[in-house]
A and B are shown apart, each in its own frame.
Chain A
Amino acid sequence: MRGSILGKVTVIAATSLLALTACTTDSSIEDPPAAEGTASSETTETTGAAQPSEDSTEWFDQAVYDEQDAQRSATFEGDPEQPYLQYIDGEMKDTSAFASTGPKKACFSNASISNPWRQTGWITMNQQLQVLQEAGVISEMETRDAQDDDNTQIADIDYFIAEGNCDAFIISPNSTAAMTPAVERACETGKPVVVFDRGVQTDCAVTFIHPIGGFAWGIDTAEFLSERLNEGDKVVALRILPGVDVLEQRWAAAERIFEENGIEAVDYFTGADPVEIKSIISDELATGDVQGIWMDAGDGAVAAIEAFEDAGADLPVMTGEDEMSFLRKWEETGIDGLAPVYSNFQWRTPLLALQKIFAGEEVPAEWVLPQSPITEEERGEFLTANEGMPDGHYAKFGGEDLPGYPTVWQERQIP
C-alpha cells in the first residue's frame, strides 16, 4: 500500500516539477523575460493573426524591405562627422509651437538596459545629458527602467504623465503594439514626445528616431555571406530571441536571401547564452561542415568562433556585430567577416532632438540615422579608435566628442 502511495507522490511531484522545468527551458531561451509577452502581443496586433509566429514570413513586409533596401544607399543630410544628427531627407515637423527658453525637465521611459548594446547607449546618453545640462537646455532627466516588461513601461509612462512634472518625454518602447496607447497618452499632454529604437504604431510623437532598420541589417549580412559561399553551403543562424520586431526583421530578410541563393540556413534561439551557442555549433559540426555563421546580434559571437576552434574545424565566414569582443576575435582569428551595425549612437539623438524642438527648429518626422556595417578594411581603424574599451562596448557608439571620453566608457559604470 505504502508503495503505491509513494509512487503516486512521485508522479505528482515529478509532474509538477516538470511544469516548472518547462517554464525554465523557455526562459533560458527567451531571456529577457518579457520576450514572450512581446512576441504574442506584437504578432497578434501587428499581423492580425492569433497564432504565434511560426516562421519569418509573418515578419516579412515587402514594402518596408524595399524601402530599407533603398535607404542603404541613400544620402544622409548633415555632417558625416556627426552621424547621430544625420537623417534621410523627408517630411519635417514644425516645432515652433514648442519653442521655449530655459532649462527643461526630460522624462525618459527606457525599455531596459539588459544587454551590452543598450548599456553602451545608456552611458553615451548620460554623457550627452551632461553637455545639455551645462548648456542650460535640460535641467534634469528623470529615468524609469521597465526591465524588459511592457506592463512596467506602461506604468512608468503613466506615472510620468500624472506626476512627473515633465516638459518632454523620451520613450524607448519595449514592444511595438503594447506601448502604442501609452505613447498616445503621452502625446495628449501636449508636451513633445520623442520615440527612439523600436517603434510604435502611432505618429503622434514629434519624431521617431531609429537607424535604417532590421531588413537593412538582414540584407547587408545575408548578401555578404551569399557572395562568399556556394550554393548548398550551410549557414547556422544564431538568434537571440523570437518576437522582437527589430530582430525578427533581420532574420526575415536574411532567410529570404539565403533561400534565393540556395544556401541552407538553420536557425536557433540562443538567448545569447554562450553555453547554448557552443552546444549548437558543436552538434552542427558533428553533423557536417558549417561554412557560415549568421547572427542577429553580436552578443555571443566569440563563443561561436570558439566552438569552431574547440572542434578543430575550419573557421566559418561570419557576420557578428560591432561589439568589441567580436571585432577583437575577428582580428585575432583572421576570419572572413562583417560587423553589421545597429547604430548605437542613436542614443545621443533623442536629447539633441529635444534641444532642437525647444529651440523651435524643425526635425524630421521619421529621423532615419545612418547604419553601415564595419568591413574588414575599416576594422583596424575602429579597433584603434576604441582601444582599451571593454568587450561589451560598441565601436560605433559615437560619443568621442563627449565629456568623460574615454574613461567613462572604459570603466563602464552603468549610471
Chain B
Amino acid sequence: MSVATDRAVLQQNRSPRGERVLRALRTPSGAIFVLVALLFLAVLAANPSFGEPGSLIRFIGRTAPIAIAAIGQYFVIVSGEFDLSMGSVVTAQVIIAGNLIGQDESRTIPVLALMIVFGAFVGLVNGLVTTLLKVPSFIVTLGTMLALLGLVLFWTGGAATGNPADSFRQIGRGGIQDVPVLEVLPYPVLILVATAAAAFWLMRRPYGRTLVAVGDNSRAAALTGASVWWVRTRAFMLSSLAATAAGVILVGYAGVHPSVGQGYEFTAITAVVLGGVVIGGGRGWVLSAAAGAFALELLFTLLNFLGVESTWRDSVQGAIIIVAVAAASRNWQRKRRGASSRAHDEHRPIAAPTPAPGTNEGGT
C-alpha cells in the first residue's frame, strides 16, 4: 500500500527532500518536534546542566512510561476512538505487581505473564464492547476505568502496600552501567526505543494503514473489505498493553502506590493531541504522539526549574497546554485551507513538463 502511495505522486512533481521536511514540520504532527526543540532550549536556558548527557538520558528514562502510554493511546485515537481506562490499567498493574510478586523473586516471570494477559484482556473487552455492542468508546472505557479503580480500592483500601522485589523493580529503575558518555543507559529508555520502533514499523504495515483508514472513514474502510471491528479491537489491546508496559516501568521507577497511574489517560490523550493527532481519527503520526509526551514532560520540568509556586502550577500548565493545542489546530486549518490553493504551487506545475510514459496525465 505504501508503495502505491509513493507512485501516486509523479516523480517530477515531488518537491526536494528539504522542502518536504519543511512542509512536514508545518503540519501539527511535525510542528510538535519544533515545540519539543523549543521547550528543550527553554529548559536549557533555565538550567544549563540539564543538557549534560547523564541527566538528559535520565530525563528520557523518566518520560519513557508516559511516552509509551501516548504511543498506545495513539492507536486508539487514530482509529477514531478513546481509551480512558489507560490510567486505571496502569494503577491495577502496579498493584498486581506489588501484591503478587512481593519479595519473592521467583514469581517475577509468571506475574509478568499474568500482567500481559490481563492487559490484553482489558483491551479486548474495551474493543469488543465498543465495536460489537456499538457502545461509544468514551463510555465503555470510562466504565472500565471506574471498574478497575474500584477493584484497586477494594484490594488495597486506597493506600500503598509494599514494593515488589528489587530485581523486578530494576526494569524501571536500573540500567546498563558504565556506558560511555551517558554513564548509565536506563532500561526504560531501551524499552521506549523498542516500543517506538515497533510502533513505527506497525504503522507502515497493512495493519497500520488500515487503522488510519478506519479512523478516517470507517464506512469506506468497511466497504474495502477491512474488518473494522477487529482492527479497532486490536488498537484497544495495543493501548492496554502499552499501559501495562508503562505500569511495569512505573513500579520499578517509583514503587507501589494507588496514585501511580492516576490521570495517565488524560496526560496520554493530551500528549497525542499535542502531537497533532486528530481526535476522531484518521490523521497523525505515531512518533509525534511520543514527542507530545516529551513536550509535556519538558513543560513540567521547565515549571519546576522556574520555581513556579506549587499552588498555581496546575493553572500555568493548563493554560500553556491550551495555547499549544490551539496553535496546533490553527495550524491544521491553515494547512487545509492552503491545500486547496496549492494546485498552483510552484512545486506542482499544472502542466507536467516531461510526462512519464504510462501515465495519461501528460499531453494536456
Contacts and interface: CB of A to CB of B under 8 A. Distances in A.
Interface of A: 2-4, 6-11, 13-15, 17-18, 20-29, 31-32, 52-55, 112-116, 118-119, 239, 242, 266-269, 271-275, 277-280, 282-284, 286-287, 299-300, 302-303, 306, 310-311, 325, 390-392, 412, 414
B332 interface: yes
Contact of B339 (A3, A112, A268, A278): A3
Given A25-B318, A287-B47, A303-B255, A6 B336 contact: yes
Contact of A25 (B254, B314, B326): B314
A23 B267 CA distance: 11
20 contacts: A3-B339, A7-B330, A9-B280, A10-B278, A17-B273, A21-B270, A25-B317, A114-B157, A116-B159, A119-B157, A266-B307, A271-B259, A272-B160, A272-B257, A275-B254, A278-B254, A279-B304, A303-B254, A306-B173, A391-B160
Contacts of A272: 160, 257, 259
Contacts of A325: 160, 162
B interface bracket (residues with beta carbon within 8 Å of A): 35 or more
A274 B262 CA distance: 12
Contact of A10 (B162, B266, B329): B329
Contact of A391 (B59, B162, B173, B280): B162
Contacts of A10: 278-280, 329, 332
Interface of B: 47, 49-50, 55, 58-59, 62, 157-163, 173, 250, 253-255, 257, 259-260, 262-263, 265-267, 269-270, 273, 278-280, 300-301, 304-305, 307, 310-311, 314, 317-318, 321-322, 325-326, 328-330, 332-333, 336-337, 339-340
A334 to B, nearest CB: 18
Contacts of B62: 278-279, 282
Nearest to A413: B157
Contact of A18 (B59, B321, B333): B321
**Interface on chain B toward A: helix, strand, loop, or mixed SS?**
helix
A303 to B, nearest CB: 6
Given A22-B318, A24-B266, 8 more contacts: A31-B262, A114-B157, A115-B158, A279-B300, A282-B58, A282-B62, A303-B254, A306-B173
Q: Which of B59, B160, B321, B328 neighbours the largest number of chain A CB atoms within 10 Å of its CB?
A: B160
A124 B66 CA distance: 39
A208 B200 CA distance: 62
B263 A283 contact: no
Contacts of B47: 286-287
Given A269-B310, A280-B304, A274 B321 contact: no
